[in-house]
Structure 1
Amino acid sequence: MMNVLSVNAPAHIQDLGRYGLRRYGIGHAGAMDTLSLRAGNILLGNEENAPALEIALGGISVSFERDTPFCITGALYHAELDGEPVHSYWRYTARKGQVLKLVRAVQGMYGYLCVAGGFDVPEVLGSKSTDLKAGFGGHEGRMLEKGDEIPLGGGAEHLGRVGIAHIPFTNCIHLFPSSEYGAFTEQSHIHLFHKPWLLQSDSNRMGYRFDGHGHNLELKQPLEMLSHAVQAGTVQVPPGGNPIILLADAQTTGGYPKIACVAAADLGRLAQVRFGGKIRFKQIDGAKAAKLLRQNEVYLNQVRKIANENS
C-alpha cells in the first residue's frame, strides 16, 4: 500500500489510456506524456501500460507499507526520500515506512511516479486511467487526497539503483496539415509556422490554448461544419483565430476547422511545456512523423537495455 501524506497539486492515476470507445462518447484519458510513462515502467520491469501517478507541477508526499522500487519520469522534480535527494529518471528502492516527497517540478509540467508492479486499482472499460470528467477509473475516479491509500501491484521488492537519460524538453513542436488546412489563408499558414505562440494559462488536460498576439489564423471564407470526430493532437481553430490543441482528456467530437495535427511522437513533449511558454511549430509530412516515432522507440530500446542489464 502507498499512503498519501499530503498533496498540493493535481495528482491522479493514469496508464496509456482507454481506446476503442470514442464512438460511444468515452474519451481515452491516459498520461499526458506517454513516452515518459513507458520509460519509467520499462526501467522498473513493468508492462509499459502499468498505471502510474501523474502529478502536475506541484508536490506530494507518500509513504510505502513495504519495500517498493520506484522512479520519477517526465518533469524533472526536486524530490527527497527521507530527506535525501532523489533524481528524476533514476531507479530507487524505498524501504518500508520511508517517506518520498516530490517537492516541485523544476523543469517540465507533468511528472510520473512509477512503482514496481504499478498501482493495483480496478480496470474500468479496459483501462485503469482516471477519467476526471466522467468520474471513473483510477482511484475512485478522482484526484488523490491526503489520507488516500493506494494498493500496490505485485512487482519486485528490490531493484538496484540505476539511471537513464531524461527525455529532452523542447519548444519546437512538429505539425502536419489536416483536413481544413487549405481553407485557411496563405498568411495564416505563414503565421502558424513562422511566428511564436504563447501557451495560455487556461490550458488543461483537455486542450492547450495558444495566443498569437494578433497573428490570428483566418479562413479564406466562412466555413460551416457539422460536428465530427476529433482526437488528441488535433489543432482546432475557433472563430477568434487562436488555435487549440486537443490533448488526453479531449472531447470526442468538435465542430471547429482543423488546420493541422501534432505528430504523435511530440504529444508528450508538448505536454511538458509550461503555461506562459512560447512554442514554435514546424511543418512536416507523414514520413517525417513516422521517423520521429521511430526515434522514440530507439530511446525506449536503450532504456530496455539498461533495465535488463541491471535487473
Structure 2
Amino acid sequence: MIEIISATALSTVQDHGRSGSLRYGVGTAGAMDRLALAAGNLMLGNDEDAACLEIPVFPFQARFLEDCDFALTGADCTANLDGRALSPWWASRARAGQTLSLALPKSGSRAYLALGGGIDVPMVLGSRSTQLRGAFGGLDGRALRQTDRLPAVQAIANRALDFGIEPPSLALPRMIDGMVALRVIPASEYAAFSAQSQAAFWASAWKVTPQSDRYGFRLAGDPLVPMQPIETRSHGIVPGVIQVPHGGQPIIQMRDAQPSGGYPKFGSVIEADLWRLGQTPIGSRVRFIETSYEEALDALADNRRYLDEVQRLVGLRGLEHA
C-alpha cells in the first residue's frame, strides 16, 4: 500500500482501458502510454494490464506503508527512494515507511508507478481505469489527492528485485529532425482537404499546445483547409483519430476522448504510436508520416516483440535468483 504525500494534480489509476463499451457511450480511458504500463507490470511479474498509477505532474511523492515491490517506467524522472537514486525504467523493493520522490522529467511527460500485483481498486465495466468524464473507475472516479491510499494486490513476490530494462524510446526509436514522428493513416475526409493542406500536414512540424490533455491533443500549425465546407453528422471516433474543427487546427483524440464527434476526420495516429504521443511534452513539436493499414499492423507487432523481450529478460532474472 502507498499513501500520496504530494498535493499532486491529475495523477490517476489506469490500466489498458475499457473495451466493448463504446456503443453505450463509454470511452476507453486507460494509460496514455500503454507500453510503459505493460513493461512496468511485466518487470514485477504482474499481468500486462494490471492497474498502475499514471503521474503527469511533478514533483510527486508517495510513502510506502508496507514492504512493496514497485517499478518505475515512462518519463525519465529524477527519482529516489529515501534519498537513494533510482535509474529510469527500474524495478526495486521498498520497505515500509520509505518515501518515493519523482522530480521533473528530463524527457517524456508521464511516469508510471507499478506495484506488486497491481493497484487494488474495484473493476468497473471490465477495467480499473479512471474515467474522469464519467467519474467512475480508479479511486472514486477522480484524480488522486493528498493522503489517498492505494493498496497493492500482492505487495511482495518471492524473488529479488533490483534491475532495469531498455526503454522503448531507445528500443523503438522514431524521430524526424529531432522531433517525435507519428505514423498516420489518412481517414475518410482526407480527400476533401486541399492538396496544399495535405502536403503541409506531412511536411510541417506541429506544436502541442497547452490546451492538450487526456481528452485530446490540440496542435498548432498552418490551418488545414477543406476545398469546401464540410458538414457531417456525429459519428464514432476512437483514440488516435485526428479531427479538424472549423479553425483548421487539428485535434488528436486521446484516451479520455468521447466516443463520438462531428468534426471531419483527417487521419488517425496508429495505435502502435499513441504511446509516443502520450509522452510528448506540452510545447514540443511532432511530425507525421503517412502509413498504411498493413504497416500499422507491423508496428503493433514491433511493440509486441519489445514486450516479449522484456518478459524474456525478466524470466531470465527469475531463473538466476531461483
The normalised TM-score by structure 2 is 0.93
- Which residue identity lines up with residue 252 of structure 1 in the other structure? P
Tell me which residue corresponds to 2:216: 207
Match of 2:194 among 169, 185, 200: 185
Measured against aligned partners, the alpha-carbon deviations of 1:206-255 in whole angstroms (never above 9, x if no partner) come to: 0000111xx21111111210000001000000011111000000011100
Runs of 4+ in 1 over 6 A off after TM superposition: none
In the alignment, the residues of structure 1 paired with residue 37 and residue 161 of structure 2 have an alpha-carbon distance, to the nearest angstrom, of: 20
CA deviation vs aligned residue, 1:264-302 (integer Å, no higher than 9, x gap): 110010111111111111101111111111111111111
Once the two structures are superposed, residues 96-123 of structure 1 have per-residue CA deviations (whole angstroms, 9 ceiling, x without a partner) of 2211111222211111001111111011
RMSD of Structure 2 on Structure 1 (CA): 1.2
Deviation of residue 66 (structure 1)?
2.0
2:82 corresponds to which letter in structure 1?
Answer: D
Equivalent residue, structure 2, for 1:220: 227
Q: 2:244: which partner in 1?
A: 237
The amino acid that maps onto 1:225 is T
Match of 1:304 in 2: 311
Distance in 1 (CA, whole Å) between partners of 2:80 and 2:155 is: 22
> Which residue identity is paired with 1:167?
P
2:2 aligned with 1:2: yes
Distance 2:122 2:60 in 1: 22
**Which TM-score applies when normalising by structure 1?**
0.96
Aligned letter for 1:117?
G
Q: Percent identity?
A: 40
C-alpha contact (below 8 Å) 1:71/1:91 kept by paired residues: yes
Tell whether 2:60 aligns with 1:60.
yes
Distance 1:137 1:241 in 2: 34
| Counterpart-to-counterpart distance in 1, 2:267 and 2:286 | 15
CA–CA distance in structure 2, aligned partners of residues 223 and 61 of structure 1: 48
Structure 1 stretches of 5 or more lacking a match? none
Matched with 1:112 is: 112
Q: Give the Cα separation in 2 of the matches to 1:104 and 1:57.
A: 8
Contact residue 11 and residue 57 of structure 2 kept, 8 A = no
- Within 5 Å, which residues of 2 pair with 1:118-197? 118-157=118-157, 159-168=160-169, 170=175, 171-197=180-206
SS at match of 2:312: helix
Distance 1:303 1:239 in 2: 44
CA distance in 1, matches of 2:11, 2:292: 35
Give distance in 2, aligned partners of 1:195 and 1:60: 35
- CA contact under 8 A between 1:74 and 1:167: conserved in structure 2? no
CA distance in 2, matches of 1:180, 1:159: 53
Distance 2:7 2:73 in 1: 18
Q: Is 2:8–2:146's contact at 8 Å kept on the other side of the alignment?
A: no
Q: Would the aligned equivalents of 2:9 and 2:143 in 1 still touch at CA under 8 Å?
A: no
Between the aligned partners of 1:7 and 1:68, the Cα distance in structure 2 is 22
Which residue does the alignment assign to 1:42? Answer: 42
Output the amino acid matched with 1:238: P
